[in-house]
Structure 1
Amino acid sequence: MTGAPPTTGVHHFSPTVSDVEASAGWYARVFDLDRLPGEARHHGDEDGGYAVLLIDRRTGLLIGLHHHHGHHGGPFDERRAGLDHIAWGVRDRADLDAWAGWLDDLGVAHSGVIDKVARSYSAIVFRDPDGIQLELFHRDG
């Protein structure tokens, strides 16, 4: 075999959050997601916590917001080993303007559209209730 076997893209994103219900409401509102019924127990640690599952019915992307009974607390910090950020792609540069308006309407603080002409991309940067950096990203060409 030459090269890695194929994938179909990102299936789900699963951050650990400090308040699973508050985060579920925020992610559902910001990304227009549907909450799946029930809770998903952690694989290999079924008694240690659970995830609330949200789905984007347009793309099939799942977001599993994890609650751990032994959560150590403290704010998210992308400078520690682990997640730095996650970015959602958008089809057109104009979609970023629409997203900026949507985030404004929801009262979600964001960077505004950042155009990096020399690198041929544009993005909006914002953070979830736990401070996890999220991006909306469009690459030209």
Structure 2
Amino acid sequence: MTIQTTGFSHVRLTVRDIAVSRRFYDRVFGWEVAYELPADADQATRDQLWFAFGGVIYRVPGGLLGLRPVAAGDDSISEDRVGLDHLSFSVGSKADLDAAVAVLDAVGAPHGEVKDAGTMHLLEFRDPDGIALELVAAKG
């Protein structure tokens, strides 16, 4: 017997500085905020939004992506350790990948070149915490 899933729900990334990460994700992706605790929230609102953990949760196609500010300032991620290797998002076409290069350049995000990976094209880059992100465009 196996567990039958019906889809992807969410992923939450731990970050060092929520303001820096929020600025990056807002500028690069522009996703709608699904949940965020207002700075002036009363106790009832704090109790209701406890699951935001002081961060932000974005609505992304197919689910949610959260940022949780709990990492120490000198902490770092490595895809060569147990945990997250990278997070990949789909885009519509190779032209979208080419356009993404200009967006990443504008925000000063380190990135590679658009690569041909056989059945897809991909673009690798990193967020302010060094988390490896990827954009993928399927071929025909």
TM-score band by shorter chain is 0.7 to 0.9
Residue 127 of structure 1 corresponds to which residue in structure 2? 126
1:86 maps onto 2:82 in alignment? no
Of structures 1 and 2, the one with the larger relative CO (CA 8 A, separation 6+) is 2
Residues of 1 paired with 2:9 and 2:25: CA distance? 16
Residue 25 of structure 1 corresponds to which residue in structure 2? 23
Number of residue pairs matched by the alignment: 129
Maintained 8 Å contact 1:89/1:137: yes
In the TM superposition, structure 1's runs of 4+ consecutive aligned residues that sit over 3 Å from their partners are 34-37, 39-42, 70-73
Residues of 2 paired with 1:126 and 1:24: CA distance? 16
Normalising by structure 2, we get a TM-score of 0.75
- Unmatched runs of 5 consecutive residues or more in structure 2: 38-45
Tell me the SS of whatever aligns to 2:14.
coil
Deviates more, 1:13-22 or 1:82-91: 13-22
Residue 52 of structure 1 corresponds to which residue in structure 2? 55
Normalising by structure 1, we get a TM-score of 0.75
Q: Which has the higher helix share?
A: 2
Residue 140 of structure 1 corresponds to which residue in structure 2? 139
Shift of 1:22: 1.4
Identity value in percent = 34
- Unmatched runs of 5 consecutive residues or more in structure 1: 43-48
Kindly provide the CA deviation profile for residues 50-106 of structure 1, in whole angstroms up to 9, marking residues without a partner as x: 14223247x3642211123x8484211111100000000112222111211222233
Residue 41 of structure 1 corresponds to which residue in structure 2? 50
Maintained 8 Å contact 1:33/1:54: no
